[in-house]
Amino acid sequence: MEWTLAGLFGFSVLLLIISFLKTAKATKVEKKGIDLVHIEVMKEINDLQESIRNIELDIEVVMKEAGVQLSPKEKVFMREILDLYKRNYSIESIAEKKQVSADEIKELLAPYMTSKDERRSILNAR
């Protein structure tokens, strides 16, 4: 009887050790997978940052070539009103939101505005 209990106890200790080893192995594999995903995400972030830098430099070159000189505040203002316009805000609501006259907004957005007839002709040309 004592030998049976001792044998069962020894067997349970052996199973416990095997369980710990398998858990440790699974944890290493999981950590390795997480590290690989992390590395891939960091590569993508670096690629995006490089693309953004290139776009910013391209825009700066184009602005200098075109002779357009805008202050940083003017750039941000134009970006904001153009974003609102592209999201289909009305000229009046953009003017109200930015606290400027609707005529000024129309003047600033004039190069970016296309009439519906122009859009149709472009679509039909395809």
CATH number for 100 = 1.10.10
* Residues 6+ positions from 92 with CB-CB distance below 8 Å: 102
- Say if 111 falls within a structural domain: yes
**Residue-wise pLDDT tens digits, 46-67:** 999 999 999 988 888 888 778 7
- Say if 63 falls within a structural domain: no
Mean pLDDT of 97-125: 75
Which structural domain, as residue segments, surrounds residue 100?
70-121
d(CA 105, CA 38) in angstroms, rounded, equals: 45
- Say if 41 falls within a structural domain: no
Helix, strand, coil percentages (3-state) for the chain, rounded to 5, are: 85, 0, 15
* Structural domain total, the chain: 1
- Say if 11 falls within a structural domain: no
d(CA 30, CA 24) in angstroms, rounded, equals: 10
